[in-house]
């Protein structure tokens, strides 16, 4: 008898129930053990799947697509944000809200009014950020003198808005991998804009030397401003969140003072604005030298932003410093024991992130603004935090998130114009515009749902990814 099978006690054991007799053993039927020949024969038999056999390629793709992975969760978070935004649009429109009061009396009319509002609003979002189908068709057929520049205007605005967001998003994503939370992108972008813009109008060099000097000046200013945080963090242990919050205010007030100085302020203007940056010192337009005449503002900044994302991706995956950065982020004590200079790594990481944010500020000053003003930066640094979180602090994820936020920003202006909904019977209905604040709501909702993946998984009942399960199985094996 093996050690795993305890002897059966006569008259009742732990599992035999109450004692019924005079101490006789309970009969036990042993489980037959197959012989070696039978086991070998059974092992050679093919195993038939219990349900449906091997899935097809399409079924496997759909199963993987609807699995619990970061891409699916992010995509569904965007869908949820759109659904909630649609509800808010309906509640915010007086006519549609009134129709819903009579839903059980005339449901068709209510649903038609809701469809008109949402189709025009989200259609305007697409038209303002990607392409206007009506404009495209008129260009194809040569109608109304529509030019290709007019067709590309929406995508140009998206790229223009996305470039600084990608820079500031990378400025958050990189130190995050080292265990640092850089929320000072706003201040670092301001310092980069001041330095880059000043180099642009003070030097007045011809292209390309003018905008190259602006790039160097902006990156250097951000490098020093971010490096100050890293140095204080490494030397004194001061928390980077407190430091960056305070330095954001320092940069903002310094900008207000700097612009009104006599060597900076435009003498021909009474408001607080710097001297204009010469056209030769501005970033070149990616759609040609005459793009400014046709309203196409997309410029070199988007190219530099993508190159910066590629450089950061290479640094993290293959660079020695990237390995040390990730090691410090995982376990600074272990990294120190391994001989890595933790303090120097943290300081250099913050300096590089500051340079990235500085380039974001420079892309605004030398890319589109053409002069320094107090309100030119908007919330580009703080929106970069949202872009980094939506991109899961990965370089190429930041690029995708930056393009999405750029599209929302560009399309938000078009949503305010409203439009006309045409029914199947030929009747038309005028749809009022949607407030631009709804775009900010959509952006915030996306981040909320991305930050709550358990909620997304529960709502859509996501299954575990087959590839992820296989990976875990191999790891355990």
Sequence-distant (6+) residues with CB within 8 A of 163 are: 299, 301, 302, 304, 305, 360, 363, 367, 402, 406
Backbone angles phi, psi at 381, to 5 degrees: -70, -40
Q: Per the structure block, which two tokens stand in for 138?
A: 């008129």
Q: What does the alpha-carbon distance between residue 281 and residue 265 come to, in Å, rounded to a whole number?
A: 18
Beta strand pairing status for 463-464 and 419-422?
A: unpaired
pLDDT digits (tens, 9 = 90+) for 353-387: 999 999 999 999 999 999 999 999 999 999 999 99
pLDDT digits (tens, 9 = 90+) for 113-135: 999 999 999 999 999 999 999 99
Distances from the Cα of 468 to the Cα of 51, 67, 253, 350, angstroms: 22, 9, 50, 33
Task: Please give the helix or strand (H or E) that residue 128 lies within, else none.
Answer: helix 107-129
Under a CB-based contact definition with an 8 Å cutoff, are residues 151 and 131 in contact? Answer: yes
pLDDT of residue 110 exceeding 60: yes
Backbone angles phi, psi at 74, to 5 degrees: -65, -45
Mean pLDDT of the residues in the chain: 85
At residue 13 the predicted structure's pLDDT band, cuts being 50, 70 and 90, is very low
**Mean pLDDT of the 301-308 span:** 98
At residue 66 the predicted structure's pLDDT band, cuts being 50, 70 and 90, is low
Backbone angles phi, psi at 464, to 5 degrees: -70, 140
Helix, coil or strand: residue 6: coil
Beta bridge mates, 437: none
pLDDT digits (tens, 9 = 90+) for 197-240: 999 999 988 889 999 999 999 999 999 999 999 999 999 999 99
**Mean pLDDT of the 53-63 span:** 61
Helix, coil or strand: residue 464: strand
How confident is the model at residue 391, as a pLDDT? 92
Q: Per the structure block, which two tokens stand in for 437?
A: 């604040």
Beta bridge mates, 420: 430
Helix, strand and coil percent figures for the chain, each rounded to 5: 65, 5, 30
Can you state the angle between helices 153-177 and 185-203, rounded to 10 degrees? Answer: 120
pLDDT of residue 300 exceeding 70: yes
How confident is the model at residue 175, as a pLDDT? 96
**Mean pLDDT of the 69-80 span:** 85
At residue 36 the predicted structure's pLDDT band, cuts being 50, 70 and 90, is low
Beta strand pairing status for 463-464 and 67-68?
A: parallel
At residue 467 the predicted structure's pLDDT band, cuts being 50, 70 and 90, is low
Under a CB-based contact definition with an 8 Å cutoff, are residues 154 and 125 in contact? Answer: no
Angle value at C-alpha 333, between 328 and 338, nearest 5 degrees: 80
How confident is the model at residue 26, as a pLDDT? 53
**Mean pLDDT of the 409-427 span:** 89
Percent of the chain's residues with pLDDT above 90: 63
At residue 331 the predicted structure's pLDDT band, cuts being 50, 70 and 90, is very high
Beta strand pairing status for 67-68 and 419-422?
A: unpaired
Distances from the Cα of 268 to the Cα of 75, 368, 428, 473, angstroms: 50, 21, 50, 71
Beta bridge mates, 419: 431
How confident is the model at residue 471, as a pLDDT? 39
pLDDT of residue 106 exceeding 50: yes
pLDDT of residue 105 exceeding 70: yes
Question: What is the residue extent of each domain of the chain?
Answer: 70-129+399-461, 162-393
């Amino acid at each position: 008898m093996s050690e795993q099978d305890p002897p059966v006690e006569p008259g009742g054991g732990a599992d035999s129930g109450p004692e019924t007799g005079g101490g006789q053993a309970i009969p036990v039927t042993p489980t037959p053990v197959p012989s070696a020949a039978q086991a070998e024969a059974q092992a050679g038999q093919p195993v038939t799947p219990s349900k449906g056999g091997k899935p097809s390629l399409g079924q496997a793709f759909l199963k993987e697509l609807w699995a619990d992975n970061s891409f699916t969760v992010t995509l569904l978070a965007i869908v949820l944000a759109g659904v909630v935004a649609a509800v808010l649009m309906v509640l915010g429109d007086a006519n549609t809200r009134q129709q819903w009061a009579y839903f059980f009396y005339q449901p068709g009319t209510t649903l038609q009014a809701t469809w008109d509002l949402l189709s025009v609003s989200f259609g305007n979002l697409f038209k303002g950020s990607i392409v206007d189908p009506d404009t495209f068709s008129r260009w194809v057929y040569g109608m109304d003198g529509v030019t290709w520049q007019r067709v590309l205007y929406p995508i140009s605005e998206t790229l223009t808005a996305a470039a600084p967001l990608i820079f500031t998003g990378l400025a958050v994503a990189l130190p995050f991998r080292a265990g640092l939370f850089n929320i000072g992108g706003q201040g670092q972008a301001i310092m980069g804009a001041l330095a880059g813009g000043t180099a642009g109008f003070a030097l007045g060099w011809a292209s390309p030397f003018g905008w190259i000097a602006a790039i160097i000046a902006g990156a250097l200013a951000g490098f020093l401003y971010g490096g100050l945080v890293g140095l204080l963090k490494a030397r004194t242990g001061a928390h980077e969140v407190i430091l960056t919050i305070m330095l954001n205010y320092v940069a903002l007030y310094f900008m207000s003072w700097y612009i009104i100085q006599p060597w900076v302020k435009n003498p021909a203007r009474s408001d607080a604005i710097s001297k204009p940056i010469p056209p030769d010192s501005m970033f070149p337009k990616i759609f040609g030298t005459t793009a400014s005449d046709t309203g196409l503002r997309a410029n070199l900044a988007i190219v530099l932003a993508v190159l910066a994302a590629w450089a950061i991706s290479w640094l993290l995956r293959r660079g020695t410093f990237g390995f040390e950065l990730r090691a410090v982020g995982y376990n600074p004590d272990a990294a120190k024991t391994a001989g890595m200079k933790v303090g120097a790594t943290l300081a250099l990481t913050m300096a590089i992130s500051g340079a990235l944010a500085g380039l974001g500020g420079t892309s605004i000053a030398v890319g589109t603004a053409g002069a320094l003003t107090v309100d030119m930066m908007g919330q580009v640094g703080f929106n970069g935090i949202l872009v980094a979180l939506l991109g899961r602090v990965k370089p190429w994820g930041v690029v995708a998130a930056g393009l999405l936020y750029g599209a929302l920003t560009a399309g938000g202006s078009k949503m305010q114009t409203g439009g006309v909904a045409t029914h199947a019977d030929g009747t038309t209905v005028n749809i009022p515009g949607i407030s631009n604040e709804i775009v900010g709501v959509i952006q915030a909702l996306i981040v909320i749902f991305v930050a709550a993946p358990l909620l997304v998984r529960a709502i859509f009942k996501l299954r575990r990814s087959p590839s992820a399960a296989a990976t875990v199985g191999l790891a355990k094996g």
